[in-house]
Amino acid sequence: MGDPGPLGRFGEHGGRYVPESLVGACREVEEAFREAWADPAFRGQLAGLLATHVGRPTPLTPALRLSAELGSTLLLKREDLAHTGSHKINNVLGQALLAKRMGKTRLVAETGAGQHGVATATAAALFGLGATVFMGERDIERQALNVFRMRMLGAEVVPVRTGSRTLKDATSEAMRHWVGVVDEAMYCMGSVLGPSPYPWMVREFQRVIGDEARRQCATELRAAVPDYVVACVGGGSNAAGTFAGFVDTPARLIGVEAAGGAGAADGTSGVLHGTRSMFLQDENGQVTEAHSIAAGLDYPGIGPEHVHLRDLGRARYVTVSDAEVIEAVMRLARTEGIVAALESAHAVAWVLRGELPAGSTVLITLSGRGDKDISTLRELV
Ligand SMILES: Cc1ncc(COP(=O)(O)O)c(C=O)c1O
């Protein structure tokens, strides 16, 4: 999982499919990121913020009771304990710091579950930047708590009423908006999606999850590396960041998608939001709607690097149903005292299927906490 080069390609996927008006802006972001990422001062500043503002390193928690029930050793990488409640803040602080360095005054972002929006609003407040966050009307209803948090932090939340009224349409609107404000605004992408350099840059900002977990596993496990590394996949940023720490080990990498939003399992190759990747499409190439109980996984595609990892046979992508996810949230809550986000519970749900050989060691990235999902769960359990 290295540098995809100036074309931003991961095998046949990735690239930069944007209108002429955004080509220069994407190039500017790429040049700024290349320069910043090679600058120890930038890296040091980001690492400092991740320590003092986010609370990194996040712990690695042995899930003792669940491990005993399953006959395996489960370790939870606790991104739910990061400031703002999910892994999204790792990437956003990186992009916001870059925006500052580039002399930008605003951040433009899309959000599904609202976690990326909250992280963006938080970073904007911290750096004195403006923030405009696009969010589908349906997600605004089911993630009301996060909408309130974003507004409290001073962000403008723009409701998107087109199409599925979820993440796909919010992303389209946000990118359209960026075209008009490129001079002053940086697009702050929430996952390993979008035109080059975003899939690569977001993975690099999220690799802190995998790098920390690798060090932490080395002290927890006799074999130093787990047999399985499991993470949920919406666009795939927490999974990409986690996998980056283990891609050079024998660990089996497993990405868990929502059954109703499975770009890797059910998608075909196409172009959306500036990148070539796998998307749910009808026979005419029209991108179809995803359906997931987890707003953050309600996206009809997957990041291009994941397609490449799958094609290489290095990672495997599986799906779980909404019902399995609800069961997983409850079981984790009652065995470990942790209420996970519905997104993160996808990774737990796959492990709970009990298909892993007895005695396996498993790292699960818990990408976020479940506070935002309480009203959804209250109606279901
Ligand atoms: C807690 C949580 N986990 C996972 C995701 C999915 O994003 P990604 O696949 O980029 O990690 C989201 C998206 O909103 C989220 O809020």
Residue range 216-236: mean pLDDT, rounded: 97
pLDDT at 335: 98
- Opening angle at CA 171, ends 375 and 202, nearest 5: 95
- Ligand 1 geometric centre to CA of 202 (Å): 13
* pLDDT value of residue 263: 87
**Distance between CA 313 and CA 359 in Å, rounded?**
24
Q: Write out the H or E segment, with its range, that includes residue 231.
A: strand 228-232
- Distance (angstroms) between ligand 1 centre and the Cα of 337 equals 21
Q: Catalytic residue at 367?
A: yes
Q: Relative to the CA of 113, which ligand 1 atom is closest?
A: 14
Residue pLDDT, tens place only, 111-125: 998 999 999 999 999
What is the CA(238)–ligand 1 centre distance, in A? Answer: 7
Q: Tell whether the model's pLDDT for residue 221 goes beyond 90.
A: yes
Pairing of strands 185-187, 301-302: unpaired
Q: Which of 30, 79, 110, 212 is catalytic?
A: 110
CA 367–ligand 1 middle distance (angstroms): 7
Give the binding-site residues of ligand 1, using a 6 Å CB cut-off.
86, 112-113, 115-116, 191, 232-238, 296-297, 341, 343-344, 367-368
CA dihedral sign of residues 53, 130, 271, 264: positive
Q: Given this model, what pLDDT does residue 308 score?
A: 97
Close Cβ partners of 240 (under 8 Å, ≥ 6 residues apart): 1, 192, 199, 202, 203, 206, 207, 303, 305, 306
- Say yes or no to pLDDT of 381 above 90: no
Quick one: how far is CA 276 from the chain centroid? 18
User: Model-level pTM greater than 0.75?
Assistant: yes
Residue pLDDT, tens place only, 236-270 = 999 999 999 999 999 999 999 999 989 888 999 99
* Ligand 1 atom index nearest CA of 239: 11
| Residue whose CB lies within 8 A of the most ligand 1 atoms, among 191, 293, 369, for a mutation test | 191
pLDDT-based confidence at residue 46 (cuts at 50, 70, 90): very high
Residue pLDDT, tens place only, 156-202: 999 999 988 989 999 999 999 999 999 999 999 999 999 999 999 99
Give me the pLDDT at residue 164, please.
Answer: 86
Q: Which is the catalytic residue, given 164, 172, 292, 367?
A: 367
Which residue has its alpha carbon closest to ligand 1 atom 14?
Answer: 296
Span 103-112, pLDDT tens digits: 999 999 999 9
Ligand 1 centroid, distance to 309 Cα (angstroms): 19
What is the Å distance from ligand 1's center to 266 Cα?
19
| Pocket residue to mutate for ligand 1, from 237, 242, 278, most atoms within 8 A of Cβ | 237
Average pLDDT of span 277-297: 92
Tell me the pLDDT tens digit for each residue of 6-16: 899 999 999 99
Question: What is the per-residue pLDDT for 98?
Answer: 98
How long a stretch of residues is the chain?
A: 381
Amino acid at residue number 53? H
- Whether residue 213 contacts residue 60, with contact meaning beta carbons closer than 8 Å, is answered with yes
The atom number, within ligand 1, closest to the CA of 116 reads 14
Q: Mean pLDDT score of the chain, rounded to an integer?
A: 96
Q: What is the rounded CA–CA span in Å between residue 54 and residue 47?
A: 10
If one residue of 87, 92, 205 were mutated to test the ligand 1 pocket, choosing by the most ligand atoms within 8 A of its CB, it would be 87
